[in-house]
């Protein structure tokens, strides 16, 4: 397999000079997200030139398994012929057309398909272009709905969210988020939010343990919903798995209890499935694990199979109805994005969904997840591995200073980052969340690739954290 594309842009006669120039431009001009830019230790990220299946190929001839699905969005691998062709065919017709006062066939088809596969009752699709904008739209829709519902309740203007939540980086999404290293400095710009404890069994914020706790974390959330129902426009959660919090898997029954409480107390439920949607947890949508239909469902990342920016916020007819009426009523949702429902993105999404919905494809995700977890079993006795937690093909390995006390590592040592850096030398591209090593490979990953991924992680943990070292 080639490690670089043949093209005039990357001439094969002297590729190193061209690629090194690109590295210099990257160093001098590109502001990388979520990265500390240290003049004393300049970034030297891999310069990727091509991809094939679950693999990426860089300018130094390295072949790296994409262990985080290019930030959790790639479902079927790189250069998928069916998706490639769908985008090419759409290019021959229409590359972009606004949805403001206009319509086009790919967006209409995609909206219909999303309604068909989503939890029942979500019949309206609002398109945007990334996960944060899907959440931002949901927050504004929930707020405006409470003002315009048949029995208006303008006092319902607050949100309940979880501790350690992450919902994106626009200001509304940051306000309902709660990861200090991402959000602390923006505090003066944010609106106040009610907080429920994180449903995190390994580090239970209530100091309890399963099953004796009897879902105390859910009971706490339910109590908050009940006490503050008169002021709550919505509760927002990542159903089943909190991704950026460290792949935190909620105990079974937590989501159902929160959803029932929202319905009982007239509070909208926003499900942020930007990370968990499109098969990542072994179900098409994580809400389906507990038979929950939220009032608003936020989708992005895997919606196009990792090809193009696209997002969607799905809503019930009841919510949409509050925004209907003559222009003079002023009930419209005055919010939008230039590339909402982009035809190329919609075409990619439709092709991706065709693959995802093929018989047996989604069902194989859980089997692959079990295989990956099993292949990581050599870490279970490691004194610095606190827990390996998994749902579907979302998996996190939490590193600790002491397994018995669960004491965290010194964050300043960036141990998780060191492990991912070493994994790169073994042919795997990973990215940690603090000291949680995240594994979220494409759903199309093969068994031999799963073993390669697991081997690199096991070897890297032992290299950076030798079991006998202090």
Residue 163 and residue 54 share a domain: no
User: What DSSP string describes 448-464?
Assistant: HHHHHHHHHHHHHHHHH
Q: What are phi and psi of 63, to 5 degrees?
A: -115, 115
Residue 165 and residue 97 share a domain: yes
Q: Which domain holds residue 399?
A: 15-79+361-464
User: For 208-263, how does the pLDDT look when each residue is reduced to its tens digit (9 = 90+)?
Assistant: 999 999 999 999 999 999 999 999 999 999 999 999 999 999 999 999 999 999 99
Q: How far apart are CA 312 and CA 306, in angstroms?
A: 15
Q: Is the pLDDT of residue 117 over 80?
A: yes
**Nearest Cα to Cα of residue 239 among 217, 223, 226, 254:** 254
User: What DSSP string describes 253-289?
Assistant: THHHHHHHHHHHTT-EEEEE-TTTTTTTTSSSSGGGG
Q: Please, which residues have CB within 8 angstroms of residue 33's CB and are 6 or more apart in sequence?
A: none
Please count the helices (runs of H) and the strands (runs of E) in the chain: 14, 18
Output the pLDDT for position 372: 98
Q: What are phi and psi of 16, to 5 degrees?
A: -60, -40
The token pair that represents 326 in the structure block: 């003559």
Residue 287 and residue 179 share a domain: yes
Q: What is the mean pLDDT of residues 263-286?
A: 98
The token pair that represents 300 in the structure block: 């992005």
User: For 352-409, how does the pLDDT look when each residue is reduced to its tens digit (9 = 90+)?
Assistant: 999 999 999 999 999 999 999 999 999 999 999 999 999 999 999 999 999 999 999 9
Residue 281 and residue 235 share a domain: yes
Residue 151 and residue 91 share a domain: yes
Q: Is the pLDDT of residue 200 over 50?
A: yes
* Secondary structure (3-state) at 391: strand
The token pair that represents 455 in the structure block: 């081997």
Is residue 4 a part of any domain in this protein? Answer: no
Helix (H) or strand (E) holding 296: strand 296-299
Is residue 371 a part of any domain in this protein? Answer: yes
Residue 136 and residue 101 share a domain: yes
Boundary-marking domain end, from 356, 374, 409: 356
Is residue 7 a part of any domain in this protein? Answer: no
Mean pLDDT of the chain: 95
Question: What's 399's domain CATH number?
Answer: 3.90.1150.10
Residue 36 and residue 138 share a domain: no
Q: How far apart are CA 428 and CA 63, in angstroms?
A: 8
Question: What's 89's domain CATH number?
Answer: 3.40.640.10
Output the pLDDT for position 15: 56
For the chain, the domain total comes to 2
Q: How confident is the model at residue 43 (pLDDT cuts 50, 70, 90)?
A: confident
């Amino acid at each position: 397999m080639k490690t670089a594309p043949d093209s005039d842009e990357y001439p094969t006669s002297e590729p190193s000079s061209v690629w090194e120039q690109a590295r210099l431009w990257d160093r001098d001009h590109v502001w990388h997200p979520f990265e500390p830019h240290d003049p004393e230790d300049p970034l030297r990220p891999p310069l990727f030139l091509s991809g094939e299946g679950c693999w990426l190929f860089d300018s130094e001839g390295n072949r790296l398994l994409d262990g985080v699905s290019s930030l959790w969005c790639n479902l079927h691998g790189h250069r998928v012929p069916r998706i490639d062709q769908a985008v090419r065919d759409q290019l021959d017709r229409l590359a972009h057309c606004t949805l403001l006062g206009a319509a086009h066939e790919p967006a209409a088809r995609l909206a219909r398909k999303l309604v068909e596969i989503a939890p029942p009752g979500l019949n309206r699709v609002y398109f945007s272009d990334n996960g944060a904008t899907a959440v931002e739209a949901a927050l504004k829709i929930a707020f405006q709905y409470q003002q315009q519902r048949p029995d208006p309740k303008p006092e319902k203007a607050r949100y309940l969210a979880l501790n350690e939540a992450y919902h994106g980086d626009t200001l509304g999404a940051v306000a309902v988020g709660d990861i200090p290293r991402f959000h602390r400095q923006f505090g003066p710009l944010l609106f106040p939010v009610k907080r429920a404890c994180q449903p995190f069994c390994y580090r239970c914020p209530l100091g309890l343990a399963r099953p004796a706790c009897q879902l105390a974390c859910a009971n706490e959330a339910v109590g908050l919903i009940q006490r503050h129902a008169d002021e709550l426009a919505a509760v927002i959660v990542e159903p089943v798995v909190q991704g950026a919090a460290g792949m935190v898997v909620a105990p079974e029954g937590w989501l159902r209890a929160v959803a029932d409480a929202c319905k009982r107390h007239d509070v909208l439920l926003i499900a942020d499935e930007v990370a968990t949607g499109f098969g990542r947890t072994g179900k098409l949508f994580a809400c389906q694990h507990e038979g929950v239909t939220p009032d608003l469902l936020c989708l992005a990342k895997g919606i196009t199979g990792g090809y193009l920016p696209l997002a969607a916020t799905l809503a019930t007819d009841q919510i949409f109805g509050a925004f209907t009426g003559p222009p003079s009523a002023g009930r419209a949702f005055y919010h939008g994005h230039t590339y909402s429902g982009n035809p190329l993105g919609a075409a990619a999404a439709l092709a991706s969904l065709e693959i995802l919905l093929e018989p047996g494809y989604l069902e194989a995700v859980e089997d692959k997840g079990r295989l990956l977890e099993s292949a990581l079993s050599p870490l279970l006795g490691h004194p610095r591995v606190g827990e390996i937690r998994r749902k579907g093909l979302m998996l996190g390995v939490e590193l600790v200073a002491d397994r018995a006390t669960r004491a965290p590592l010194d964050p300043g040592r960036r141990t998780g980052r060191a492990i991912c850096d070493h994994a790169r030398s073994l042919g795997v591209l990973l990215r940690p969340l603090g000291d949680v090593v995240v594994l979220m490979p494409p759903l199309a990953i093969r068994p031999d690739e799963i073993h390669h991924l697991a081997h690199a992680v096991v070897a890297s943990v032992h290299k950076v954290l030798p079991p006998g070292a202090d």
